[in-house]
Structure 1
Amino acid sequence: MTEPFFGGFDLAASTLWLFYAFFALLLYYIQRENMREGYPLEDDSGNPSSNPSMFPLPEDKTFKLPHGRGELTVPSGQIPERADIALKKVTAANGFPLEPTGDPMLDGVGPASWAPRRDVPELDGHGHPKIVPMALNEAFSVAAGRDPRGMPVMSGDGEIVGEVTDMWVDEPEQLVRYLEYRLDAKWGEGTRLVPMTMARIWGGKVKINSIYAKHFATVPMVASPKQVTLLEEDKVSAYYGGGHLYADASRQEPQI
């Protein structure tokens, strides 16, 4: 009696080994796709890393961006990282904190750091800017809570620095993302934006605790009164965020 075809073949074991092989190839593919941004690796000084990766960089892939925004090729076509950042190393080893060498809030380092994002507004599914002033869209109104427009803006040290003039809303999400305020002449000129999450409406005032009155003149401005770009959003949010540490020297001391 002859052995039947595949008679001694362990189908269950072979299926398991095929799964192992597929899973290993899947991990390899996903890891290489993950290396399209932020690679090749650099050390804290911006030099090529001595340990680039155990996987090779993927081949260039070109993505066609929606709404006529051209093409993007990665990894070779990435936006260059920021250069000449005002920081110095406190030790020769990598991974240790870097120390600011100038005004960290103006230099955009540490908690005040920002990424070189594209200087274009974020768009909705129809190709329109997502975040726009409420004054430009009559369809929006304040349905609940207090309307902050007209309220004075108070700094972290208790000074009145301006007045809220508008709210910038994320139309698809129907959320207030920024408050717009006009500075009093004593503290600067023009209007600025503050992220809604960094402002507190209380007692008929809008308080911004992260920065002091002297810092408002150098809050990054937006170029257009009708839209805010990705780069501008990063810079504005970083400035207020950095103030939580850098606005006052005492904030950099240990908090117990």
Structure 2
Amino acid sequence: MVGVTFFGNFDLASLSIWLFWGFFALLIYYLQTENMREGYPLETEDGDIAPNQGPFPVPSPKTISLPHGQGKVVVPSAENEMQHRRENLAMARTAVGEGFPHKPTGDPMLDGVGPASWVPRRDHPELNGAGRPKIQPMSLHEGFFVSAGRDPRGLPVVCKDDKVVGTVTEIWIDEVEHMIRYLEFELEPEYGGGTKLMPIFLVKVKPRWVDIKTLNSNRMAQIPDIRTPGQISCLEEEKIMTFFGGGTLYE
């Protein structure tokens, strides 16, 4: 028999378990190094390359072709990380050692630091599988409507300081995820006028008004604008979301 004459007294069960553990260790190593293609090489708080990159080595660069003619990106690479870095921020150290938070030295909401910090993402809209912007006003899509709850269009917008600053005019949807992302509202002239977007996750739609939970009325004119009507880029999303989110601490 093969099991007797070929292997003799060799422990096949032991071989199987050690092969499994070896495969599992290699799988963890592969997944961890692939996970290090973004955000690496690690940097210190001041932007220098950190001397300690962790227990796993940084993987060799890989070129990825982006869909819909959006070009190529090499990851990981210091050049790629430089594109997502903001210089000369209005912040200062609070301690000599690394890992301690920095403190803002100006208006953190306008400077975009701390909880209101934003990353310079691509200044192009996020696309769906067909190459079209996935976040658009609901009025551009006949198949979408408010099926449950209160339709916020036409409701007044009330800030954290209980002042009415505008009126909701439009709903912006994610047609891929089938969910509301933003509410568009028209500002009253006394607060700067114009059209602004507010993230649906940071406001509360009530029966008679829409409540902005994180910002006071004096911040309305400072809400970041969008460049193209009916279309929002990833960079514009980043600035709007972090502006509203930063108000949770700074307002």
* Pairing 1:120–2:124 present: yes
Residue 56 (structure 2) pairs with residue 60 (structure 1): no
Gaps (5+ residues) in structure 2? none
Taking only aligned residues, the RMSD between alpha carbons, in angstroms, comes to: 1.6
* TM-score relative to the length of structure 2: 0.92
> Does 1:12 find its partner at 2:16?
no
Q: Quickly say closer, same or farther: Cα 1:18–1:108, change in 2 above 3 A.
A: same
Counterpart residue identity of residue 135, structure 1: S
In structure 1, runs of 5+ residues without a counterpart are 248-256
2:179 pairs with 1:179: no
Letter in 1 for 2:21: Y
Q: Distance in 2 between matches of 1:103 and 1:183?
A: 23
1:95 aligns with 2:95: no
2:114 is aligned to: 110
Aligned-partner SS, 2:172: strand
Query: In the alignment, which of 85, 88, 92 is matched to residue 84 of structure 1?
Result: 88
4+ residue segments displaced more than 4 Å: none
Q: How does 1:205-224 map to 2 (within 5 A)?
A: 205-224=209-228
Distance 2:142 2:28 in 1: 50
- Structure 2 partner of 1:74: 75
Distance 1:158 1:8, change over 3 A: same
> What does 1:151-230 correspond to in 2, within 5 Å?
151-230=155-234
Q: Does 1:234 align with 2:222?
A: no
DSSP 3-state at the match of 1:207: strand
Contact 2:84 2:121 in 1 (8 A): no
Post-superposition shift, 1:53?
Answer: 2.5
Q: Which moved more, 1:148-157 or 1:196-205?
A: 196-205
Name the aligned partner's letter for residue 238 of structure 2: D
Per the TM alignment, residue 195 of structure 1 is displaced from its structure 2 partner at its CA by: 0.6
The answer to whether the 8 A contact 2:169-2:186 is kept is yes
Structure 1 residues 175-184 or 43-52, which shifts more?
43-52
SS of residue paired to 1:48: coil
After superposition, give the CA deviation of every residue in 1:195-231 in whole Å (9 maximum; x if it has no partner).
Answer: 1111122241111121111001010111111111111
Identity among equivalent pairs (%): 51
SS in 1 for 2:150: coil
3-state SS, counterpart of residue 176 of structure 1: strand
Q: Which residue of 2 aligns with 1:254?
A: none
Code of the residue aligned with 2:176 in structure 1: it is: P
Alpha-carbon distance, 1:171 to partner:
1.2
Deviation at 1:13, TM superposition (A): 1.2
CA distance in 2, matches of 1:213, 1:80: 31
- Match of residue 252 from structure 1: none
Change (3 A) 1:174 1:5: closer
CA distance in 2, matches of 1:170, 1:8: 64
Find the residue that maps to 1:166 and give its secondary structure. strand
Structure 2 CA distance for aligned equivalents of residues 205 and 11 of structure 1 = 71
Matched, 1:33 2:27: no
SS at 1:172 equivalent:
coil
TM-score by length of 1: 0.90
